Structure formats: structure tokens, C-alpha cells
A and B are shown apart, each in its own frame.
Chain A
């Protein structure tokens, strides 16, 4: 049970911002929100994670709703190399083993 809901697919134009939404309405207080992406023919790649506050790194930004029931991954300027499946994963804070339960993910297409 992935416990997150994402749109199946999204499209973006190159060099424009992309907002990838994720719903995790049953999240508990200790569950982190992780984002990974998988480029074609490659293993998954870490993007960003957060708990309560918004987070920024060199790849993306993560905006977490105040009630933590949803979050949005923001790619500030999409490039063709950002075309991938993006997975929003709810970390199991109670078990703390770090396993990732991948759900359906959002397939992002970037148009030139």
C-alpha cells in the first residue's frame, strides 16, 4: 500500500516550471515525504525529502501543506533530461527501516 496518490502523467514545456502534486492524507506525524525519480533504463534517483517545512536543494523544491496531507515537488526550469517517472513516497516513521514503497508515480513529459 503506497499510501500516496499522484496523477498518472503530466506534460511541461522546456525551461518552464513544473509542479508535481502528491496527496498523502493518512500521513502520520513522523512520516517523511520522499521524492525519487526514475529516468528511462536507469535505477531510481533521490530528488528531495522533507517532514514539515518546505525544502530546497539543487535539484528541486518541496512544498508541504500545513496539514501535511499533500505536497508539491517543484522543478524550477524543466529540461529534457527531467523527463522521468516521479515517485512521491511516504516514509514509515514507525518502522524506521527506510524501505521505500513505490506507488504508481507521475510520468513527466517535457516538450522542447
Chain B
């Protein structure tokens, strides 16, 4: 079965650079979530989209932006990178059916290292 695809899997950037992370949800899934997991920490919700519209927002810095495109893939854009942005970034997708959201399926993550 198709899973959530994230690219790239690893990314190394310098401080003040920009980065773009991509997420391709499971086919027919209409909802995408982004989570950030720092070293030794638990995943933290950043932002979510449903049918290409932002549906919820968590502790996402103003330097970050995201969107969901017409083909339902999503991109997380990160600017003015800081050392503290080094983390695993997970994308998850789910399906809203009958007004109810079903379980989330997570991708393998993108490991971002800022030097």
C-alpha cells in the first residue's frame, strides 16, 4: 500500500538559509499535518491543511509557512534558518469521511540539520 512520501529525507543547511520540505500524502487523503520533533523531544504539531485550506495552527514560527496544493501535496517553507530548527519534520495524512477524521499516517520524516 502507498505510504506518505517526504522529500528530501535529509537536508543540511546553514544559518539564515531557506529550506523547503515536501510531503506527498496517501492517495485520496485530503488532510495533511506537519509535526516537528527536536532531538530527544516528542513531536510537536505545527500546522494542518484540509482540502487545500489551513485548518489549524500550532507553535509554528512566523519564519515558517506552508501550503497544500491542488494535487494535495504540501510544502513547508522555512526561512532564516536557526540552529534550533534542527529537527525531524514529519508529515502525516488522513481522510475526513462522514465528517469524522480518521487515523493519521506518518511519513518517514525529513531530518533537517542547520549548521
- Interface positions of A (Cβ within 8 A of B): 34, 36, 38, 42-46, 49, 85, 87, 95-105
Cα separation A105 to B94 with both chains bound (whole Å): 22
Q: List 12 A-B contacts (CB under 8 A).
A: A34-B103, A38-B43, A43-B90, A44-B92, A44-B106, A46-B104, A85-B42, A97-B101, A99-B45, A99-B56, A102-B45, A105-B42
- Interface positions of B (Cβ within 8 A of A): 4, 31, 33, 35, 42-45, 48, 50, 55-56, 58, 90, 92, 94, 96, 101, 103-109
Instruction: Assess whether B101 is in contact with A43, with CB atoms less than 8 Å apart.
Output: no
Q: Are A46 and B90 CB-contacts (below 8 A) given A100-B45, A102-B44?
A: no
Interface pairs A-B: 4 shortest CB-CB = A43-B106, A97-B56, A98-B101, A46-B103
Most buried by B among A34, A45, A87, A100: A100
Q: Are A42 and B42 CB-contacts (below 8 A) given A97-B48, A97-B50, A98-B101?
A: no
Cα separation A72 to B92 with both chains bound (whole Å): 25
Residues of A within 8 Å of B101, CB to CB, are 96-98
Cα separation A13 to B9 with both chains bound (whole Å): 34
List 19 additional A-B contacts (Cβ < 8 Å) besides A95-B56, A100-B33: A34-B103, A36-B104, A38-B43, A43-B90, A43-B92, A44-B106, A46-B103, A46-B104, A49-B103, A85-B42, A97-B50, A97-B56, A98-B48, A98-B56, A98-B96, A99-B56, A99-B58, A100-B35, A105-B42
